[in-house]
Structure 1
Amino acid sequence: MAEHTLARHLAEFAADTSYEALPREVDDSVRKRVVDVLGLCVAAHRLPTSAAIVEHVREQGGLPRATVVGGGPTRVPAPLAALANGVLAHSLDYDDTHLPSVLHPSASVVPAALAAAESTGADGRDTVRAIAVGLEVCVRLGMAGYDRESGNSTFFEHGQHATSICGALGGAVAAGLLLGLTTDGLVDVLGITASMAGGIIEANRTGGTVKRLHCGLAAQSAVTAAQLVGRGFTGPPTVLEGRFGFFEAFLHGVYDPTAITDGLGTEWAVPGIFFKPYPANHFTHTAADAAMALREQGLDPARVERLVLGVPAPVIRTIGQPIERKRAPETGYQAQFSGPYMVAAGLLGGGRGLGLGLDDFTDELARDPARRELMAKVEVVADDTATGIFPEQFPAVLTAHDIDGRVWRQEVLSNRGGPDRPLSDAELALKFRDNAAGRLSGTDIDLVMDRGLNLGALDRIQDLLRPLAELKTVAGGHHG
C-alpha cells in the first residue's frame, strides 16, 4: 500500500472530488473567478510587459494547442499559453487574495487549468472541478506556512512569493486532472512541481517588474509538470514533508500539516477568497477606502496639513518602506504598492465604478505634483487595532490634520470583496466590463461573461477563449 504522505492526501482529494460533489458555492465562486481573471488578462494589455510576454511566447513556436488572451488567432503550446495568461492575470495587482495566507490563488491556477483544458478538449464541468481543486490545494499549502503566533506568512518572512510557489503546485494538480492523471500521477506532479516553484518578493519594496512574471512562470511549470508526468517522469512521494522536501526547503521545516489535512474535501476555502475592488496591492485598499470616506465627509485635500496612515505593523515594509520611495513613486506600478499614494488617490481621484480604477494608476498620476504634495504629508505607522486584526483583514486608520486645526479620523477595519463586505454580482460584472472596455466589443464582452458564468455547461473551453484571442488596439493606451 502506498505511503499516506501529505502529497497523497492532496492527490486523493483531487482524484476523488467530482464536479457533482462540489458545493454550490464553490462552483459559483470558481465561475466568477474565471471571468475575473479573463477580464484582468484583457486589461493588462495596457502594459508594455504584456506586449513583451506575448511576443516572447509567440516567438517560441511549437504545436498550437491553447489560446493566449490578446495573442492572436494562432494558438501556442499549452505551457506557453499558461505562461502568458498567468503574467497577464497578475500584472495589474487586481487579482483575488486569500486571507490570512495572503495568496493570490487564481492568477496561477486558472491560466494553468484553462490551457490544459483547451489543449485536451476538456469540457466546462471538468474545468470547474479542476480549478476548484487547484485553488483549494494552493490555499492549503499557503496556510501550512502561515504562522498563527506571529500572524504572518513564513514564506513572506523568508522573502518568498507564496502566491507563485503554492500556485505552481495548485495549478499542477488542476492541470494533472485535466490531463487525466491518476492519484499516483498527481502525487508525482506535486513531486515534480515542487522543484519548479519559486518567486522572490523584493520587487514589492524597491521596484522592478519581475513580480508580474511569477504567476505566469508558476502556471507554465504547472502544465509542464503535468505533461512530464504523462510521459513517465516521477517525483518523491514525501515531497512535502520529507527531510529535503518542500517545507524544509522553503520554510526550514516549520509548517502546520493539519492546515492541509483537516476538513479536506468537506471544508472549502475557495468561496472565501477575496475579490479585489481596486487594482493595487491588497494591503493598501483600506487606506483608499478611508481617504474616500474622509473626502465624502468634506475633507478638502488642499487644506490638509498632515496625514497619518495607521496600518498593521507587518505591512509597513511593503507599503510604507522605504518611505522616501513610497512618497514619490515614479510609475503607476510603484504607486500600486504605496500607502501614501493610495491615500492621495482616495482624496483626489476615483469616484467612478468601484471607487478606484486602472486610470488612477498611470505613470503620469504617480508623478503628479498635487499627488506628490499630498504623499509628502503622509506618515505610515503601526496601529495596534489594525495589527490585532491582521491578517484576517488588512485594516487602516487614517487621521488627517487640516490647516484649521481640525482632526479627521476614519477607521476601515475590513476589506471590500471578502465575506464581510462582498462585491455584488453587479459589481463583479462592472469590474469585468471596465477591464474589457475598448478592447472587446460589447457583443464579445457579453459573450465571454455569459460563457464564463455558465462554464459548467460548455462543451469546449476553446469556446470561452476564442473571443479573447484578438483584442482591439486602444489608441494612447495607458502604461501605468
Structure 2
Amino acid sequence: MTVAGELAQFLIRTRYEEIPPKAIDYAAMLISSTVASAAMGSTLASLRIVRDMLVMRGGTEEASPWFGGLPKLPVASAARINALMSDAAASDDSDLRNITHPGTTLAVAAMAVAEKTGASGKDVLAAIALGYEAAGRINTGVIPGLIWEKGFHGCMVAIFGGAVAAGLLLKLNSKQMTNAVGLAATSNAGLLAAANTSMAREHHAGLAAMLGVEAAQLAGFGYTVEESVLEHPRGYFFAYGQDAHASGRGPKSPEAWATTGRS
C-alpha cells in the first residue's frame, strides 16, 4: 500500500468520538482565530485585489467570502479569499513543528465546503483535526529540506490539510481520498524569497486553500493521480525533502539559505 493510501484509510475510518477532546478543542480554536485574523486582514490591499478579481469572475453561488456582504462564490474561490484575508493579517495559527500556518487553510476549506454541503459542526471539527494530523504527518517526511534548505514556503504543507478537510466533508471514499492527497502533493508551490518581502506570502495561503479544495473536488469526480506520488523516487518527499540533498545540491542550513537563497 502507498503512503497516501494508508493515510487515506486512517482518515476515512477515524470517527469524531475517537479524536482526543484536546484536538477537537484546538480545531474549534482554529476557527475562531482564523475568523478573527480575517477580520483584521479584510481591509488590506492584497485581499482587495484578489477578492475583486474573483468576484468579477463570479461562478456558482456555493460559499460566502467573509466580511463585506459579498455574493456567494464557488467553494474554492471563497476558500481562497478567506484564507488570503486571514493570512494577510499575519495573526493566524502557527504550527512551529511544521513551520507553517495550517489552521487558516483548514478552517477556510472546511467552512466553505460545509456551507455547501450542510455538514454538521462535529463533522467540521473532525475534518479540521484530521486535516491537521495529515499535514503534520506528511511534513515529517520533508523537514528541514522543505523550507530552510530549499526556500519553499509552508503552503506546501498546508495544502494537505485543506484537501483532507474538504475531502472528509465531501464524503470521499478511501480511494478518492488517496487521490485527493496525491493531487494536493502535485498542485502547489510557493517561495520564501517572494513571501518575505511582498504580498506573495498571503497569496500562498490563498492558493493552498483553493487548490486543496479543488484536489478533493476533482478526486470526488474521479480524477486520479500516481498514488505513490509521496514516496516515489521522483515524488514529493524527494523533491521537497532531504533526499535530494544527498547529491550535494542546495544550501544545507538556514544560515546558508539566508546568504545564497536571496538575490
TM-score (norm 2): 0.89
Counterpart CA distance in 1 for 2:51 and 2:29 is: 25
Letter in 2 for 1:23: P
Q: Equivalent of 1:223, from 213, 219, 223?
A: 213
Counterpart CA distance in 2 for 1:233 and 1:209 is: 32
Report what 2:249 is aligned to.
none
In the TM superposition, what whole-angstrom CA distance separates every residue of 1:429-472 from its partner, at most 9, and x where no partner exists? Answer: xxxxxxxxxxxxxxxxxxxxxxxxxxxxxxxxxxxxxxxxxxxx
Q: Give the superposed CA RMSD.
A: 2.2
In the TM superposition, what whole-angstrom CA distance separates every residue of 1:386-438 from its partner, at most 9, and x where no partner exists? Answer: xxxxxxxxxxxxxxxxxxxxxxxxxxxxxxxxxxxxxxxxxxxxxxxxxxxxx
Report what 1:118 is aligned to.
115
Q: Equivalent of 1:160, from 129, 132, 152?
A: 152
Instruction: Find out whether 1:69 has 2:66 as its counterpart.
Output: yes
Q: Equivalent of 2:161, from 163, 170, 179?
A: 170
Counterpart CA distance in 2 for 1:38 and 1:116 is: 16
Counterpart CA distance in 2 for 1:79 and 1:71 is: 18
The alignment partner of 2:96 has SS state of coil
Higher alpha-carbon Rg: 1
The alignment partner of 2:218 has SS state of helix
Counterpart CA distance in 1 for 2:2 and 2:132 is: 20
Counterpart CA distance in 2 for 1:200 and 1:172 is: 20
Counterpart CA distance in 1 for 2:257 and 2:242 is: 23
Instruction: Find out whether 1:86 has 2:83 as its counterpart.
Output: yes
Counterpart CA distance in 2 for 1:204 and 1:182 is: 36
Kindly state the Cα deviation for residue 157 of structure 1 after the two structures are TM-superposed.
Answer: 1.3
The alignment partner of 2:89 has SS state of coil
Report what 2:186 is aligned to.
195
Structure showing the higher strand proportion among its residues = 1
Q: Equivalent of 1:181, from 166, 169, 172?
A: 172
Report what 1:30 is aligned to.
27
The alignment partner of 2:232 has SS state of coil
Counterpart CA distance in 2 for 1:73 and 1:62 is: 13
Letter in 2 for 1:237: E
Where does structure 1 lack aligned partners over 5 or more consecutive residues? 148-152, 256-312, 323-480
Letter in 2 for 1:187: T
Instruction: Find out whether 1:135 has 2:125 as its counterpart.
Output: no
TM-score (norm 1): 0.50
In the TM superposition, what whole-angstrom CA distance separates every residue of 1:313-345 from its partner, at most 9, and x where no partner exists? Answer: 947977xx99xxxxxxxxxxxxxxxxxxxxxxx
Preserved contact between residue 79 and residue 224 of structure 1 (Cα < 8 Å): yes
Residues 142 and 200 of structure 1, relative CA distance in 2, 3 Å threshold: same
Kindly state the Cα deviation for residue 177 of structure 1 after the two structures are TM-superposed.
Answer: 0.7
Counterpart CA distance in 2 for 1:117 and 1:208 is: 32
The alignment partner of 1:236 has SS state of coil
Counterpart CA distance in 2 for 1:101 and 1:5 is: 22
List 4+ stretches of structure 1 deviating above 3 A.
252-255, 313-318
Q: Equivalent of 2:93, from 92, 96, 110?
A: 96
Correspondence 1:463-478 to 2 at 5 A: none
Counterpart CA distance in 1 for 2:203 and 2:13 is: 32
Correspondence 1:231-250 to 2 at 5 A: 231-250=221-240
Counterpart CA distance in 1 for 2:127 and 2:220 is: 17
Preserved contact between residue 105 and residue 158 of structure 2 (Cα < 8 Å): yes
